[in-house]
Structure 1
Amino acid sequence: MIAFDALTRRPRPKPVLRAEELRERCVDGQDLTATDRRIVGRLDLSGVHIRHALRFVNCDFEDRIDLSDARAGELIEWHGGRIAGIVADRFQSRASVTVSDVDVRGTISLRWAHLQGDLRLTNSSLQVPEGVALQASDLRLEGSLFLDGDGRSGRPDAGVRARGEVRLASAYVGGSIDCRRGTFVNPSACTINGYEMTVEADLLCCDGFRANGEVYLERATVNRFRADGGTFRSGANGYALRCDALRARSGVFLDRGFAAFGKVRLVGADITGQLSCTHGRFSNPGDEALEAWRLHAEEVYLDHAFRAEGAVRLDGAHLTRQLNCTNGMFFNEKGYALDADGMQCDGSVFLDRGFNAKGEVRLVGARINTELNCTAGRFDNPGGRALNADGLDTPGSVFLNSESEHEFHALGEVRLARATVGRQLMLSGATLVNGQTRTLDLTGLVGHGDVLLDHGFHSSGPVQIRGARIDRDLTFSGARLDGGVDAQGVRIGGTLTWEVSERSRGEVNLSFATVETLQDTLINWPEKQLALAGFSCRAPAETGLDVEQWITWLGRTKAHYSDAYHQLGQAYQRNGNEAAAKQIAIARQRDLRKPGRGDLGRPARVWNWLLDVTTRFGYELHRPLILLLVMAVIGSFVFLFAARAGLMVAEDPQRPWFQPFVYSVQLLVPGVDLRLTSRWLPDTDLAWGKAVMVYIWLAVVIGWLASGALIAGIGRFFRQGS
């Protein structure tokens, strides 16, 4: 309390007390209380054994106080007033030391000191601009360190006000460090330097804590670090809070109003419990806002109004329970919004229900033991990769789906190339927008469950599923595919369901794909934009499509794919349906002669047609035989009529007996000479004789054609069989 003159209302001058006199009183063996005094000179208590309590109330020390190598057995307290500084290196005390509500204009030095009680600097002002305000390196404090505000002074700026560095490097604190409501300013360097310090209880930088300059806690060990409600502003080096290799036994809490303006680092930190950043703000635009690669923790919460302006890095982190980013906001439009490459999470990862990222979200090579849940999340990275999870490995499910009125939305490419998903990959109702370029890349995916792109799934660009292996179903029910699907080489152990809401506007490529069954309405396949080279369905009879529907489907492809017909026919053969296999094989040959389908020239198309109508490409060899038999019977009647009408003339008097049926057969079978056709000819001088000659030539031509078709059909039959 300051005494005022009753008349002038000016502060009364404090009585002067010489430092030498005060020293004598301090060592005389009795408790000392000094009130409202001005101490002139240096109070030198170095090396002194102080056996009693010292209490200084509202006293002004014009010079430094020296407690170097001193020992104290009772409380030493300064309350109010001013101090030019305290040197207490190697000081030892069995009790507490208090410097509260004091204006300290020099360094308080406690290097290598050992205090068995508390060190309390509550509400004090430590003013050493760009210097060291509190030097407590290698301090051993059995109690707690209070750099706080008790809230009882009534001042709006109540709390410790330190201008300069608070240095606690390698210090040991057996209790807690309480910096609540404290203000620490040192823009050019560290505000608090806790390198390798150990705090057995909690480090409290919360409830109105403010730091303008780096808070440096590298390799520190604490029970719990609380910074909820604290404000951290970076200094010249760009770091607001640096906790590399921090060890926390009961969690780190940068939440509930925590705000950092500058980089926050927890690289290699080892946290037993949780890292909670719920409702925290991390602002460092254009750079890393939160760096926590190689972090070890049980749980990480970046959720419920968490906001990062800059990259959040968790690459190589190991979480034993979960990463929860529900309703978190990650903004770094020109880089990575969230980087969790190589992260191992023994539980689940939640990027869901209000999660909003502007910039790339990376989970490349991550291992997630339960599930990746991005339900109703929003991922925006126009022209780039919105979600990149190449090589992701999870024995559980991946949810990229919409939920009721809240949709999963990705502006940019979503990648799960070479990922392994143990259960479902669900994109039901998801909206993927990336212009006309690829929106979804599942190349090389290994899915042991279903892959669901259904119930309103919408893709503005191509969906790529090349070389994927899906053990169960691939479903497009109710999907809208504006850019088509590239599923070359996909292997589906269950059903491929193609019941899209409208016809795909891009190419659908199922070349060399293998499916067990196909469920299809045959309505919305793209016309002439379907590629089926090497396509195989192992159980076509179980698809619900009959053979004619299969043939219609194969006829919609952009080109003729002979192997697709062949694979389908073989599948029917394996199931014992030879008739269906024959229909497929015949349709395959017919498709070749359609304009724009096969590469047959005009003569080849004519020959293809001839084989079709005669032998059905070798599958109905009886057809030309029946034709020849019919022609032989007709010919026998023609030649019987000609013989009785005298139209047949023998050229050799030693002619054999004329036999109409044998004569007709000889004409129809090339290479057979029964000595009738060369010796009996119609009389062409007669009108009917000319008609018989025309029939002979017609029979010869038909015989040659039918015989050639039969031979070709037999050869084709054996080739196809082999």
Structure 2
Amino acid sequence: MVVPVELGELSAAEQQLWDAFPYGRVATPQSGARTVRAAVIRSLLLGARSAEPGHQAALRLHGAEVAGVLDLHQADVDVAIDLVGCTFDSVPSLSFARLRGVSFEGSTLPGLDAFAATIGGTLSFVKGTLTGAVVIYGVQVSGDLDFDWAHLSGDGRAEEMFGDRVAAVFGDSMQVGRHVYLQGTTASGNVELSGIRVGGAVYAHRGLRVEGMLRLRGADITGEANLTDAVLLNPDDTALDAWGMRAAELSLRPERVDGTVDLRHAQVQILRDDPAKSPARLRLDGARYTALEPAGVAGSRLRWLSQDPEGYRPQPYEQLATHYRQIGHEADARTVLLAKQRRRRRQLSPPAVAWGLLQDLLVGYGYRPGRAALWLLGLTALGTGVFHLHPATGGRSGVAFNPLIYTLDVLVPIVNFGQETAFGFTGNARWLAYLLTILGWLLFTAVAAALTRTFNRS
């Protein structure tokens, strides 16, 4: 086929690509003559050559230096594009294009603009180097989005859409049919994937390193989001923003986190983490999970619940207690709820703090019911012993004084054995009777408050 006049004479590398395209063959320019104009690539992709009979046309260019802007803005391309190990001197423009599949594997680019493009296959940057931002905002990818082992660097975007943000990846509102791969990826700048919809999993482990924010805010992930061994560094801000994320599984076992992890209102079926290595700042308010691996014991999880930089939030305690009850760990559930009440107490007024301390001492806010029995036994033994040594005098005819029954009569507000009204004391024994009455009412009130809290929770 005749080369379009506007392209002029083709170089040896361009001629090789021109000849290989209709057969879907790989064109690998020789060293020293590796330059291919972006205009030649564009011409082929837009129909300058057709497939040879019995072959599937494809643009497969390896190891070339691409000169000029590869402009496929709003183009409709039905052949695969493999630009492997190539070096670009300008940012390719793929915005609003409809493409079959694109690979920049091992290539070096000053960035990419693929805003709202539609990729009917995989979009790959495996082992690539991008010295500017990858703009894939609103892109629809039917296959995989693959950044494995890529090196990404951020730059600023002044457009209103990006809010003057600096990021290595602008990928909000994407749709990915299969998986997102970030294994071994290094990014200097934010990796922004807010609102992404992923039909498979997000594999962000095996050495992912983000110096900035990894943003999965509002993401909807059908499978797993795996952050095992990741390094997330954003010390003065949020390192992982997963606010409102939905996923079947979340493996949150990073190698290092320097910054806040925000899981507020996230919903996951299985949450895997290591409570011994939980981040210093962790926001869990509104987060919900069905299973927690490892569940551990309550003592190992209390620090996990106390790391919200905004202070006490009741919901994370309730969620963890609910999980423990569902798996039959009732004692751990009570421990968590007791810790919740103690943390809440720090925010109360002095009178409320005093009442809370008393409830804690007497019955552990109702989560240590055995304490009530111990207090009752101890006070009963004290009263019985003292009143036995110093029995009451007087009393109605035919009524004998009984130290045990008298003690129970003054100690338990809801019983009346007649001893308290029949007999009186003088001296120190009288003050003990008053004290037992007061303690009995306090104990009864604390138990009643605890029971009310338990029934309300149920």
TM range (shorter): 0.7 to 0.9
Q: 268, 271, 289: which one pairs with 1:518?
A: 271
Give the direction of change, closer, same or farther, for the CA distance of 1:258–1:672 in structure 2 (3 Å limit): closer
Give the direction of change, closer, same or farther, for the CA distance of 1:258–1:450 in structure 2 (3 Å limit): closer
Q: Encode CA deviations 1:576-618: one digit per residue, 9 max, x unaligned.
A: 443443333333223323x5xxx22333333333333433333
The answer (yes or no) to whether the contact 2:181–2:202 under 8 Å persists in 1 is yes
RMSD: 3.4
Q: Encode CA deviations 1:97-135: one digit per residue, 9 max, x unaligned.
A: xxxxxxxxxxxxxxxxxxxxxxxxxxxxxxxxxxxxxxx
The answer as to 2:194 corresponding to 1:443 is yes
Q: Which amino acid aligns with 1:319?
A: V
Q: Which amino acid aligns with 2:84?
A: T
The answer as to 2:385 corresponding to 1:642 is no
The answer (yes or no) to whether the contact 2:104–2:128 under 8 Å persists in 1 is yes
Q: How many Å separate the matches in 1 of 2:314 and 2:87?
A: 53
Q: Any idea what SS the aligned residue of 1:693 has?
A: helix
Q: How many Å separate the matches in 1 of 2:382 and 2:38?
A: 103
Q: How many Å separate the matches in 2 of 1:561 and 1:474?
A: 25
Q: How many Å separate the matches in 2 of 1:226 and 1:531?
A: 61
Q: Encode CA deviations 1:322-374: one digit per residue, 9 max, x unaligned.
A: 12222333334xxxx1221222223x311121x2222x412222222331110
The answer as to 2:11 corresponding to 1:229 is yes
The answer as to 2:178 corresponding to 1:429 is no
Give the equivalent residue in structure 1 for 2:284. 532
How much does 1:638 deviate? Answer: 1.7
Aligned ranges for residues 501-512 of structure 1 at < 5 Å? 501-502=255-256, 504-512=257-265
Q: Any idea what SS the aligned residue of 2:77 has?
A: strand
Give the direction of change, closer, same or farther, for the CA distance of 1:655–1:339 in structure 2 (3 Å limit): farther
How much does 1:620 deviate? Answer: 4.2
Give the equivalent residue in structure 1 for 2:161. none
Q: Which amino acid aligns with 2:95?
A: D
Q: Encode CA deviations 1:212-269: one digit per residue, 9 max, x unaligned.
A: xxx55xxxxxxxx8842299xxxxxxxxxxxxxxxx9999x9x977776999985994
Q: Any idea what SS the aligned residue of 2:131 has?
A: strand
How much does 1:543 deviate? Answer: 2.9
The answer (yes or no) to whether the contact 1:349–1:372 under 8 Å persists in 2 is yes
Give the direction of change, closer, same or farther, for the CA distance of 1:258–1:471 in structure 2 (3 Å limit): closer
The answer as to 2:54 corresponding to 1:299 is no
The answer (yes or no) to whether the contact 2:93–2:113 under 8 Å persists in 1 is yes
Q: Encode CA deviations 1:688-707: one digit per residue, 9 max, x unaligned.
A: xx2x2332232122112101
Q: How many Å separate the matches in 1 of 2:23 and 2:440?
A: 98
Q: Encode CA deviations 1:264-308: one digit per residue, 9 max, x unaligned.
A: 98599434537xxxxxxxxxxxxxxxxxxxxxx953456532323
Q: In structure 2, list runs of 5 or more residues that go unmatched.
A: 14-20, 156-166
Q: In structure 1, list runs of 5 or more residues that go unmatched.
A: 1-201, 206-214, 217-224, 232-247, 275-296, 685-689
The answer (yes or no) to whether the contact 1:318–1:345 under 8 Å persists in 2 is yes
The answer (yes or no) to whether the contact 1:367–1:394 under 8 Å persists in 2 is yes
Q: Any idea what SS the aligned residue of 1:699 has?
A: helix
Q: Any idea what SS the aligned residue of 1:493 has?
A: strand
Q: How many Å separate the matches in 2 of 1:613 and 1:630?
A: 14
Which structure is richer in relative contact order (CA contacts within 8 A, separation 6 or more)? 2
Q: 256, 267, 273: which one pairs with 2:50?
A: 273
Q: How many Å separate the matches in 1 of 2:42 and 2:245?
A: 43
The answer (yes or no) to whether the contact 1:340–1:362 under 8 Å persists in 2 is yes
Give the equivalent residue in structure 2 for 1:395. 142
Give the equivalent residue in structure 2 for 1:95. none
Q: 345, 365, 384: which one pairs with 2:116?
A: 365
The answer (yes or no) to whether the contact 1:425–1:452 under 8 Å persists in 2 is yes
Q: How many Å separate the matches in 2 of 1:373 and 1:653?
A: 97
Q: How many Å separate the matches in 1 of 2:178 and 2:41?
A: 36
Give the equivalent residue in structure 1 for 2:130. 379
Give the direction of change, closer, same or farther, for the CA distance of 1:298–1:578 in structure 2 (3 Å limit): farther
The answer as to 2:169 corresponding to 1:411 is no
Normalised TM-score (structure 1): 0.53
Q: Any idea what SS the aligned residue of 1:481 has?
A: strand
Q: Any idea what SS the aligned residue of 1:553 has?
A: helix
Give the equivalent residue in structure 1 for 2:372. 624
Give the direction of change, closer, same or farther, for the CA distance of 1:302–1:391 in structure 2 (3 Å limit): farther
The answer as to 2:93 corresponding to 1:350 is no
Number of residues of Structure 1 aligned to a counterpart in Structure 2: 425
The answer (yes or no) to whether the contact 2:35–2:64 under 8 Å persists in 1 is no
Give the equivalent residue in structure 2 for 1:457. 208
Q: Which amino acid aligns with 2:148?
A: N
How much does 1:505 deviate? Answer: 1.8
How much does 1:485 deviate? Answer: 0.7
The answer (yes or no) to whether the contact 1:299–1:319 under 8 Å persists in 2 is no
Give the direction of change, closer, same or farther, for the CA distance of 1:543–1:447 in structure 2 (3 Å limit): farther
Give the direction of change, closer, same or farther, for the CA distance of 1:549–1:322 in structure 2 (3 Å limit): same
Give the equivalent residue in structure 2 for 1:128. none
Normalised TM-score (structure 2): 0.81
How much does 1:521 deviate? Answer: 2.8
